[in-house]
Amino acid sequence: MKRTRPTTKASNSNLQASQPAFQMKTGIICCLVFMLALIARGVYLWEIQHTDAFSLLLGDAQLFDAWAREISAGNWTGDQIFFNAPLYPYFLALVYSIAGRDLMLVRLIQIGLGSLSCVLVAIAGNTLFSRRVGLVAGILLAVYPTAVFTDCLIQKEVLALFLMAILVLLLSRAWNRPSKSGWWIGVVLGCLALVRENALVILITVMLVYGISHFREQKKAITWIVSCMLGAGLILLPVASRNWMVGKEFVLITANSGFNFYIGNHKHADGSYNPVIKGHGDWQDERQDAARIAERSSGRKLSSSEVSMYWYKKTLSDIRADIPAWIRLLVKKWFLVWNSVEISDSESQYVAADGSKILSFLMIFLHFGVLGPLAVFGAVLTWRQWKRLGIYPIIVVAYMASIALFFVFARFRYPVISILVPFAAAGLVHGIEHIRQNAYRKIALPICMMGLAAIAMNWPIVSTQPYRSNTYYNIAVSLEKLGRADAAMTNYVRSLEIDPNQAMAHNNAGILLYRKGMVSDARVHFEKAIVINPDLSEPHYNLGIFWFTQGDMQQALVHFTRAVTLNPDENPSAYYNLACVYSRMNEPAKSVDWLKNAIEKGYRNWKAIHSDPDLENLRRVDRYWNEINLMTTGKVS
């Protein structure tokens, strides 16, 4: 017994001595990963700062910026039920309130958060597998091109990945240990749901899996689940209360789920985003279009929840009409959500790569079509540890299914990168170890599964070209609004070089050419737009103007009529122009009817109504003109 005591002391001393060494090594790994991530993102930011897109806010970035400016100006509660997830705009508003509206500062902060996400993933990989796996996981995320690209956008995905990385770390350290982890996991998932609403699926999944895996310890399981719910409730209930306060309805986070469900599942859906009104893909249109169409169909004013329910019912009606077609659509969306192509809405990383050597270089070797199969390889290779690791593939599958249930953008799947990266790193590290040990039988099945995943994920079911073309189009639209017509035209041309079937690019290029006096070339673009998409109202309207200025009232009548038929609420000027056409054709009765319609639709240029020479024939007929005078009395300045 006396001999064992010194030995025990020595072993304890050795253990204590080893712990600081381990901590120091882990700290070095974290610093290296953070610096690598920081350098990659810093170089990318430096490269793109002189591109046309850098100074612009495209798509949802405009919404978040406008919303944040409104919040920072003092309207912290708002006056409508949330239609978009609110956490990122409030994050922006906090930055604006402290430092002013400095988008470069926002990008630098986001680069810091993105780099910290790499560190969190490295620590999670260390906890789940080994220090070497953690290092590889951190490096993978540090140079993952989509992460480098995303961290420099004014978009909410940077917060989504950061919160998911925290979740993975919490789960890796506390899933099978009695602790208060449930509370913190609930808090993190509540915050994540305020960035991506479908993260509620993860919350439900985690609680169900924990309850099932700990069913023999009912008291422990119930306590953990309740604490998880309380943590999530701490974050979500104030948002629901705020929605009740401003809208007198119980809406947990946002009231857009029915509209989004329709976009992804109606009878003409193709799996990605298509606006309900052609040409209305802008954030400024979505909420108004959703409510206006629902209210017109219902014949009354609807609340936010009623609008959402209208779209759910409309979608279910379409599904019931052709269930086999809907099932095929679901299968297609399931493959789309796993596809290697980064399906984008407003900003494509493929266009960003055109202006960045580091991004284009990284995209050669590492993209979702590489990371996904590697993660499958790692998951199959470590399947024997399913009791400890099984929760992660379940979360990924459940979350991806929640995306496929609606519609697919690649940025929606971005948060699960925090889970895929550690498994991909484990596959690389352990796979190389097995190869060195000649243990080929152990990796035979994982290699087969990785091969199948690689084929499925890299199958060419979508092309990158439409997304590149659409981004150049969005850049051109923003430049045109800023008055930079030449730069806008250059980007419209780029858009059409990539995709000659970009109808709106033809339309807008035609407008710029028309303004330059190149009316014949403009007409060609308008006509091409109509051939490509006969359901767009804008090119018909523009062709109407062309023929009107050419003096061909019959052709002008055809195109203006088509414009208002396709989109009755789009443009009051189309109604006004029809009034001018009929006046020029000396048909005052029809002219006055269209002018009334124009005023009812919102036309308010009273001076033009009273002085436009194109309405001269209408003004000569007192009985018709008196009606217009009654509608415009006192409104002419």
Could you report the per-residue pLDDT of 357-370, keeping only the tens digit for each? 999 999 999 999 99
The reported pLDDT for the residue numbered 9 is: 39
Q: What percentage of the chain reaches a pLDDT higher than 90?
A: 67
Question: Which of 7-11, 72-76, 444-448 comes out lowest in average pLDDT?
Answer: 7-11
162-218 residue pLDDT tens: 999 999 999 988 776 656 688 899 999 999 999 999 999 999 999 999 888 877 787
Q: Which residues contact 149 (CB under 8 A, 6 or more apart)?
A: 44, 349, 352, 359
What is the CATH topology of the domain spanning 465-632? Answer: 1.25.40
The reported pLDDT for the residue numbered 528 is: 95
| pTM for this model (two decimals) | 0.87
Is the pLDDT assigned to residue 5 strictly greater than 50?
no
Assign 279 a pLDDT band (cuts: 50, 70, 90): low
The reported pLDDT for the residue numbered 549 is: 92
- Rounded to an integer, what distance in angstroms lies between the CA atom of residue 240 and that of residue 586? 59
* Residue linked to tokens 């930011």: 45
Helices (H), 322-437: 323-338, 349-354, 357-365, 368-381, 386-389, 391-404, 410-413, 417-436
Mean pLDDT, all residues of the chain: 89
The reported pLDDT for the residue numbered 28 is: 87
Is the pLDDT assigned to residue 17 strictly greater than 70?
no
Assign 425 a pLDDT band (cuts: 50, 70, 90): very high
Assign 25 a pLDDT band (cuts: 50, 70, 90): confident
In our burial notation (b when 16+ CB lie closer than 10 A, e otherwise), range 187-201 reads bbbbbbbbbbbbbbb
The reported pLDDT for the residue numbered 287 is: 82
212-234 residue pLDDT tens: 887 778 788 888 899 999 999 99
585-616 residue pLDDT tens: 999 889 888 888 888 888 888 888 888 898 88
The reported pLDDT for the residue numbered 137 is: 96
33-55 residue pLDDT tens: 999 999 999 999 999 998 888 98
The reported pLDDT for the residue numbered 283 is: 67
- Rounded to an integer, what distance in angstroms lies between the CA atom of residue 155 and that of residue 61? 6
Backbone angles phi, psi at 128, to 5 degrees: -75, -35
Instruction: Supply 337's token pair.
Output: 């959500």
The reported pLDDT for the residue numbered 10 is: 39
Compute CA distances 324 → 267, 319, 321, 330, whole Å. 11, 9, 9, 10
In 10 A of CB 27, how many CB atoms?
Answer: 10
Instruction: Supply 502's token pair.
Output: 């970009």
- Rounded to an integer, what distance in angstroms lies between the CA atom of residue 292 and that of residue 290? 6
The domain segmentation of the chain, as residue ranges, is 20-254+339-457, 257-322, 465-632
Q: Would you put residue 249 in left (φ > 0), alpha (ψ -120 to 50) or beta?
A: beta
Is the pLDDT assigned to residue 15 strictly greater than 70?
no
Half-sphere exposure of 13 (CA within 13 A, CB side): 6
343-360 residue pLDDT tens: 998 899 999 999 999 999
Q: Which residues contact 108 (CB under 8 A, 6 or more apart)?
A: 45
Is the pLDDT assigned to residue 4 strictly greater than 70?
no
Task: Find out whether 401 and 335 touch, Cβ atoms under 8 Å.
Answer: no
- Rounded to an integer, what distance in angstroms lies between the CA atom of residue 208 and that of residue 212? 6
Assign 505 a pLDDT band (cuts: 50, 70, 90): very high
SS3 76: coil
Higher confidence at residue 96 or residue 388? 96
